Structure 1
Amino acid sequence: MNANAEFTMDVEEIRRRARQSVFDGAQTSTYEGDVETVIKLLNEALATELVCVLRYKLHHFVATGILSEPIAAEFAVHADEEMQHANKIAQRIVQLGGAPDFNPEGMLSRSHSDYVAVDKLDDMIRENLVAERIAIDSYREMIRYLGDKDPTTRRMLEEILAVEEEHADELSDWLDRG
């Protein structure tokens, strides 16, 4: 495209399309993503976040040992942040015309991360770090897939990714100390 080219927009056409498909909500005719695939990916991300919430909550309540109190408190913070991610993802699924899948049956098969039961603090930190690393790579792949086809979902996932990277960094630091 020529940098000096004049930008024009057909506002009348935009208005016509908006009125024609008014019941499609946020999904307009210029949406370039494969909405079914995006909803499927988001439901997998939702399941992943919910599994992480459950694992962090468990670890918050059962962590023991001399260093456990501040780490257990941070597990609770991470659980809350993962729940916020789940809420954002569920909202986006609805915006795209889908239904968020909160059904516990099959949640582990939809989740990208595992739910591994451990009882030592170091193992809890390690399992949470593994789950964060899985989430990081999963979100990066989803972001690459979306590209410019769905910038709203991509930006949401980029924001979630940044928090997951913070979690992984923090967990990694804890392993280095212990």
Structure 2
Amino acid sequence: MAKTKENSGTKKAVQELIDALNGDLAREYQAIIAYTVYSSVLTGAQWMNIAAELKKHAHEELQHALIIADQIDYLGGSPTATPKPVKLSKKAEEMLRFDLDNETETIKNYRQRVKQAEAIGHYALADQLRTIIAQEQEHQHDLATALGIDVPHVFEGGA
């Protein structure tokens, strides 16, 4: 009887992880779209370096999406095909701020996913997520630097 209860609890935890990873995957799709669009529409000499960096970020976000989709499949789920909505603006600063806010939220979410993965013994997934977090932090730093602001801190209770 105890084994059935344990299996049921583990199955529930795995399903919760799959659902959360699908939310993360939708955010990765959002980032790919946003970085692709923003890098193409940023104008002005002051934005050319960050525009080139955003193209690089788009490629890295695609790699993240592929990793997350593979992990969802491995866990027995179906990867989502729907991105979160992309905010658009004609102002460069607003576009970069949208990206920065998304990166900050993504880091917070992935830190939670690491805890979830480790709680059910999926240490390889946790390691992959840590690698993704490191890249997301680089993106966050690039965006904050382009905006001339400090990198936002990510706290457990929120950003």
TM class by shorter chain equals 0.7 to 0.9
Instruction: Show CA shifts across 1:26-85 (max 9, x none).
Output: xxx9xx572211211111111010001101111011111122222111111001100100
Query: Which is higher, the Rg of structure 1 or of structure 2?
Result: 1
In the TM superposition, what is the alpha-carbon distance from 1:167 to its structure 2 partner? 0.6
1:163 to 121, 135, 149: 135
Distance in 2 (CA, whole Å) between partners of 1:139 and 1:176 is 25
Q: Which contiguous aligned blocks of 4+ residues in structure 1 show a shift greater than 4 angstroms?
A: none
In the TM superposition, what is the alpha-carbon distance from 1:148 to its structure 2 partner? 4.1
Partner of 1:93: 72
Q: Does 2:29 match 1:50?
A: yes
Partner of 1:144: 115
Classify the secondary structure of the residue corresponding to 1:64: coil
Whether the 8 Å contact between 2:34 and 2:86 is mirrored in structure 1 is: yes
Written as runs of structure 1 = structure 2, the 5 A alignment for 1:63-102 is: 63-102=42-81
Count of residue pairs brought into register by the alignment: 139
Q: Does 2:135 match 1:135?
A: no
More helix by percentage: 2
Written as runs of structure 1 = structure 2, the 5 A alignment for 1:92-131 is: 92-102=71-81, 104=82, 107-108=83-84, 115-131=86-102
Q: What is the identity, as a one-letter code, of the residue corresponding to 1:174?
A: A
- C-alpha RMSD of matched pairs (Å): 1.8
Whether the 8 Å contact between 1:65 and 1:121 is mirrored in structure 2 is: no
The alpha-carbon distance between structure 1 residues 97 and 145, as it changes in their structure 2 partners (threshold 3 A), is closer
Q: What is the identity, as a one-letter code, of the residue corresponding to 2:143?
A: L
Distance in 2 (CA, whole Å) between partners of 1:166 and 1:153 is 20
Classify the secondary structure of the residue corresponding to 1:116: coil
Partner of 1:4: none
Partner of 2:156: none
Instruction: Show CA shifts across 1:97-130 (max 9, x none).
Output: 221111x3xx32xxxxx52111122222211111
Instruction: Show CA shifts across 1:133-170 (max 9, x none).
Output: 01011111222233342212211111111110111011
> Which residues of structure 2 form unaligned runs of 5+?
1-6, 150-159
TM-score (norm 1): 0.72
Q: What is the identity, as a one-letter code, of the residue corresponding to 1:151?
A: Y
Distance in 2 (CA, whole Å) between partners of 1:56 and 1:158 is 22
Partner of 1:172: 144
Whether the 8 Å contact between 1:39 and 1:98 is mirrored in structure 2 is: yes
Q: Does 2:7 match 1:37?
A: no
